[in-house]
Amino acid sequence: MQQPLKLDHLGIAVANLAEAIKVYEALGLSCSHIETVQEQKVKTATLPLGETNLELLEPTEANSPIGNFLASKGAGLHHVAIQVDNIEEKIQELKSSDFRLIDETPRIGLGGSKVAFLHPKSTFSTLIELVQRRS
């Protein structure tokens, strides 16, 4: 069984990326990367923090996963992303342990990484993302 490598990032939903970045800059962080993921209708800002990153998520449309989250729950922690070295293998392993998955096959995430979300019903309501960084 392969081990998770590290906390890849924490995903935080915000209504306004520029304003949220200012808050984290005041805390001493800085934004290293801005990227829009069209498929998810989200604009993201990556802020390195020690060995991990904060990923701020602003919806580009109200009708989108982050837009719906903001409307129902408000801004705040959206998901926890765990880095793995072989995402396909990890997905198979979880499926055989009866985990529910949102993505049964990996999607392309930030910077060409492969990502897959687990269903919160299988994780006591915390949305967990698996990330395999492009090597």
The residues binding Zn ion (CB under 5 A) are 11, 81, 129
Beta carbons of 102 and 120 less than 8 angstroms apart:
no
Q: Which is nearer to Zn ion, 1 or 76 (CB)?
A: 76
Q: Is 84 within 8 Å of 130 (Cβ atoms)?
A: yes
Considering the complex, state which of residue 81 and residue 118 has its C-beta at the smaller distance from Zn ion: 81
In this structure, the dihedral spanned by the alpha carbons of residues 107, 112, 113 and 118, taken in order and rounded to 10 degrees, is -20
State which residue has the least CB distance to Zn ion.
Answer: 11
Cα dihedral 11/110/65/59 (nearest 10)? 80
Of 82 and 94, nearer to Zn ion (C-beta) is 82
The CA–CA distances, whole Å, from 84 to 88, 112, 115, 124 equal: 10, 15, 10, 21
Shortest gap between Cβ of 107 and Zn ion (angstroms)?
11
Give least dist CB 79 to Zn ion, A: 6
Contact 60, 39 (CB under 8 A): no
- Smaller CB distance to Zn ion: residue 65 or 94? 65
Least distance CB 97 / Zn ion (angstroms):
22
Q: How far is the CB of 54 from Zn ion (least distance, A)?
A: 10
